[in-house]
């Protein structure tokens, strides 16, 4: 329900970032990619950006309201992205092969069981041509597990405020609490709260799972500008897996 409610405000909270588009384009163009898959695509922002650059793009997400938004955005942008409701653990369900694949926005952390993570990564590898590349981005959980309760920077846009905090519950789970307040005429018009259990996937564990899934090279960065990853202070863990 929370992600359904979030759909109407998603693009205000998370507008396109040029650095992300440039990173994805740089990685996929390096292997001459033409067909790309966006797993857990949300409202399809980066699938659409890549389509504008000439890629043939598919996007899947479990939340129908987000896919509906993505389809409308693609139609408005006049780009032919194929969006469909789908599970990131089932990249092979489309019955297609891809040259590039990405799953960003901390989506992998929603897979609580190791078996689900292994299934997802194995499915990703199975639909990639060789050479091919996968880009995965999660929060830097090494930093959060060391620091304890961690409040993320407040996101404030005209008419809305989005609060987020991570609360570790041991080594293998944490609570992600979020609150979205929407204002109108100087008063709160709507408030949506959510608490979801996530798996705090450490860098070393993610690398090990990628190699186990059959990827041959894994590079890790701390942001989309290719900054070196630091466990203590990088905000993100961005893994580029090659096959």
CATH code of the domain covering residue 184: 2.20.25
pLDDT band, very low/low/confident/very high, at 8 (cuts 50, 70, 90): confident
Residue 159 has a pLDDT of 86
Residue 202 has a pLDDT of 97
pLDDT band, very low/low/confident/very high, at 108 (cuts 50, 70, 90): very high
pLDDT band, very low/low/confident/very high, at 5 (cuts 50, 70, 90): confident
pLDDT(184) > 80: no
pLDDT band, very low/low/confident/very high, at 1 (cuts 50, 70, 90): low
Is the domain of 148 the same as that of 134?
no
Instruction: Tell me which residue range forms the domain holding 166.
Output: 143-198
Is the domain of 131 the same as that of 210?
yes
Is the domain of 30 the same as that of 122?
yes
Is the domain of 190 the same as that of 218?
no
SS (H, E, C) the chain: CHHHHHCCCHHHHCCCCHHHHHHHHHHHHHCCCCEEEEECCCCCHHHHHHHHCCCEEEEEECCHHHHHHHHHHHHHHCCCCEEEECCHHHHHHHCCCEEEEEECCCHHHHCCCHHHHHHHHHHHHHCEEEEEEEEEEEECHHHHHHHCCEECCCEEECCEEEEEEEEECCCCCEEEEEEEEEEECCEEEEEEEEEEEECCCCHHHHHHHHHHCCCCEEEEECCCCCCECCCCCCCEEEEEEEC
Is the domain of 148 the same as that of 34?
no
Per-residue pLDDT of 194-224, as tens digits, reads 999 999 999 999 999 999 999 999 999 999 9
Is the domain of 9 the same as that of 123?
yes
Q: Residue 107's domain is classified under what CATH number?
A: 3.40.50.150
Is the domain of 49 the same as that of 127?
yes
pLDDT band, very low/low/confident/very high, at 186 (cuts 50, 70, 90): low
pLDDT band, very low/low/confident/very high, at 191 (cuts 50, 70, 90): confident
Is the domain of 17 the same as that of 107?
yes
Is the domain of 188 the same as that of 96?
no
Give how many domains the chain has, as a whole number: 2
Is the domain of 104 the same as that of 214?
yes
Is the domain of 13 the same as that of 75?
yes
Per-residue pLDDT of 115-154, as tens digits, reads 999 999 999 999 999 999 999 999 999 999 999 999 999 9
Is the domain of 176 the same as that of 192?
yes
pLDDT band, very low/low/confident/very high, at 72 (cuts 50, 70, 90): very high
């Amino acid at each position: 329900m929370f992600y359904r409610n979030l759909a109407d405000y998603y693009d205000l909270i998370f507008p396109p970032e040029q650095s992300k588009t440039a990173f994805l384009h740089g990685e996929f163009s390096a292997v001459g990619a033409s067909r790309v898959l966006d797993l857990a695509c949300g409202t399809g922002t980066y699938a659409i950006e890549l389509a504008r650059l000439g890629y043939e793009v598919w996007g899947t997400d479990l939340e129908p309201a987000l896919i509906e938004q993505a389809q409308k955005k693609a139609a408005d942008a006049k780009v032919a992205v194929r969006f469909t409701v789908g599970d990131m653990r089932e990249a092979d369900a489309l019955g297609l092969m891809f040259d590039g694949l990405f799953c960003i926005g901390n989506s992998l952390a929603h897979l609580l069981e190791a078996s689900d993570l292994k299934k997802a990564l194995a499915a990703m590898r199975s639909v990639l041509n060789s050479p091919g590349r996968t880009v995965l981005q999660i929060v830097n959980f090494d930093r959060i597990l060391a620091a304890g309760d961690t409040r993320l920077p407040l996101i404030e846009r005209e008419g809305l405020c989005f609060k987020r905090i991570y609360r570790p519950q041991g080594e293998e789970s944490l609570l992600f609490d979020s609150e979205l307040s929407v204002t109108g005429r100087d008063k709160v018009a709507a408030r949506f709260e959510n608490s979801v259990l996530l798996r705090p996937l450490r860098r070393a564990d993610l690398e090990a799972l990628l190699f186990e899934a059959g990827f041959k090279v894994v590079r890790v960065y701390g942001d989309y500008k290719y900054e070196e990853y630091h466990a203590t202070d990088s905000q993100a863990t961005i893994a580029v897996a090659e096959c």
